């Protein structure tokens, strides 16, 4: 198969049309096409304005996004990683400090902690949701602990109340929410991002609110923190050419902000579509041996990903692939066991739930344009695999 491809098109690594998956894991072009008129108009408006960095579009988007999250301030930056990094720096967290988070996350959570100069400390996750297990916090806290970063994984909020309780008992420990996968999710009826001292969002194209390139934002109710963030994202300037603090260059550009304003207006509708498709998956897979995603009562999961747990994960993924269905694993190797982070001193077995999830989780296709009939096809295929392997 590969040989045939190389012979038919020796100069390109791209697959021939016939090799393309029938049901891809993601379809970002479909996402653009659905809003192309408004997006094209927004892009043209920026091009004609002649203003490309930190202008009216960014200010407009920041106001819209703060209101959407139910907070006073939003500050646009260049990526989700930078949003976390600047959030920590704005809280004056850096060298000599420890920040508690999970190893079952996108590596960027940990990248950001290390870029700030602080040391990441990992705790294990809850088996049902894969989010930070608050009961493990007390044993991980010491006098150097300055922040806790729970990750609202796959669109599902971490259990914030017990985490906040522990943080407040210790006084100077900040809560920094990693909301990169959870735009529009709520916990006890209130938006994620409004619970922490600060919260970081990513607008990487695949996220529920995705730009046409990189982007991110920090939200907070604290005006002084917001002001520090605005300086930090642009060379530490409070006024032009005078750096009050040592800053960064991490700006959201006008084109991305203009596109994000269009997409933000449709976010609730699209999260609703994700939730309906997830409910259909749940219904169709009820008789299977898979462990399906769960939701806290009173929370709103926005299904950035629809991830199931299977004891035969690799075989199931292979079976679906051979049937033309794309899937993905989030994440195959937990951060504490990745080559770059071995130096932090964790051994295999130190985070047992995290490590088991890395072997069992499989993300199925889920995006707003997916048709119910396509979900039925995927579920039929999964049930056929389960029968064939004697699991049901
Ligand atoms: C995507 C993501 C990030 C990083 O966002 P970038 O915009 O890619 O830098 C951080 N944390 C989590 C949980 C993510 O999924």
Q: Which residues of 342-380 are buried (b: 16+ CB within 10 A; e: fewer)?
A: eebebeeeebebbbebbebbbbbbbbbebeeeebebbbe
CA of 160 to the centre of ligand 1 (A): 19
Are residues 149 and 101 in contact, defined by beta-carbon separation less than 8 angstroms?
A: yes
Report which ligand 1 atom has the smallest distance to the Cα of 84: 10
81, 248, 331, best to mutate for ligand 1 pocket (most atoms within 8 Å of CB): 81
Atom of ligand 1 nearest to the CA of 203: 7
The residue to mutate among 85, 87, 101, 109, having the most atoms of ligand 1 within 8 angstroms of its beta carbon, is: 109
Asked if residue 232 lies in contact with residue 245, where contact means CB atoms within 8 angstroms, the answer is: yes
pLDDT tens digit sequence for 352-362:
999 999 999 99
User: For 289-336, what is each residue's pLDDT tens digit?
Assistant: 999 999 888 899 999 999 999 999 999 999 999 999 999 999 999 999
Q: Is the CB of 61 under 6 A from ligand 1?
A: no
Considering the chain, what is the average pLDDT of its residues?
A: 94
What tens digit of pLDDT does each residue of 121-161 get?
999 999 999 999 999 999 999 999 999 999 999 999 999 99
Cα–Cα distance between 64 and 66 in angstroms, integer? 6
Ligand 1 proximity of 302 Cβ (cutoff 6 Å): no
User: How far away, in angstroms, is 180 Cα from ligand 1 center?
Assistant: 5
Would you tell me the crossing angle of helices 223-232 and 80-90 to the nearest 10 degrees?
Answer: 120
Categorize the per-residue pLDDT at 21 as very low, low, confident or very high, splitting at 50, 70 and 90: low
Whether 87 lines ligand 1, by a CB cut-off of 6 Å, is: no
**Residue 351 pLDDT greater than 70, yes or no:** yes
| 204 Cβ below 6 A of ligand 1 | yes
pLDDT over 80 at 1, yes or no: no
- Residue 155 in contact with ligand 1 by CB distance below 6 A: no
Which ranges in 22-170 belong to alpha helices (H)? Answer: 28-34, 36-49, 56-69, 80-90, 108-116, 137-140, 160-169
Angstrom distance (rounded) from CA 52 to CA 63: 18
- CA pair distance 279, 285, nearest whole angstrom: 10
pLDDT at position 2 is 38
pLDDT band at 255, cuts 50/70/90?
A: very high
């Amino acid at each position: 198969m590969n040989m045939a491809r190389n012979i038919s098109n020796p100069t390109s690594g791209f697959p021939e049309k016939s090799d393309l998956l029938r049901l891809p894991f993601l379809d970002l072009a479909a996402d653009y096409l659905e809003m192309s008129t408004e997006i094209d108009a927004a892009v043209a408006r920026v091009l004609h304005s002649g203003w490309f960095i930190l202008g009216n579009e960014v200010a407009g988007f920041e106001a819209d996004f703060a209101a959407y999250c139910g907070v006073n301030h939003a500050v646009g930056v260049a990526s989700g990683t930078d949003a976390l990094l600047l959030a920590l720096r704005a809280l004056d967290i850096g060298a000599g400090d420890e920040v508690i988070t999970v190893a079952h996350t996108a590596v960027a959570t940990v990248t950001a902690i290390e870029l700030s100069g602080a040391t990441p400390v990992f705790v294990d996750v809850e088996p049902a949701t894969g989010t930070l297990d608050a009961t493990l916090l007390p044993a991980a806290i010491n006098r150097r602990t300055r922040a806790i970063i729970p990750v609202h994984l796959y669109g599902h909020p971490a259990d914030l109340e017990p985490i906040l309780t522990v943080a407040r008992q210790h006084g100077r420990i900040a809560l920094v929410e990693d909301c990169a996968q959870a735009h529009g999710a709520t916990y006890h009826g209130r938006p994620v991002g409004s619970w922490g001292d600060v919260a970081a969002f990513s607008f990487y194209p695949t996220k529920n609110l995705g730009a046409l390139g990189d982007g991110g934002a920090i939200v907070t109710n604290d005006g002084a923190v917001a002001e520090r963030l605005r300086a930090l994202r642009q060379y530490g300037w409070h006024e032009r050419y005078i750096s009050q603090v040592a800053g960064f260059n991490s700006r959201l550009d006008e084109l991305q902000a203009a596109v994000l304003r269009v997409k933000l207006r449709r976010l609730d509708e699209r999260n609703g579509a994700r939730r309906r498709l997830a409910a259909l998956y749940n219904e169709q897979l009820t008789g299977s041996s898979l462990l399906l995603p769960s939701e806290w009562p009173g929370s709103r999961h926005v299904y950035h990903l629809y991830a199931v747990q299977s004891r035969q994960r690799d075989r199931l993924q292979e079976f679906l692939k051979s049937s033309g269905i794309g899937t993905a694993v989030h994440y195959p190797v937990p951060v504490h066991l990745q080559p770059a982070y071995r130096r932090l001193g964790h051994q295999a077995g130190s985070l047992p739930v995290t490590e088991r999830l890395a072997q069992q989780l499989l993300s199925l296709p889920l995006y707003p344009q997916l048709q119910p009939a396509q979900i039925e096809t995927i579920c039929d295929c999964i049930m056929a695999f389960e029968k064939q392997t004697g699991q049901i």
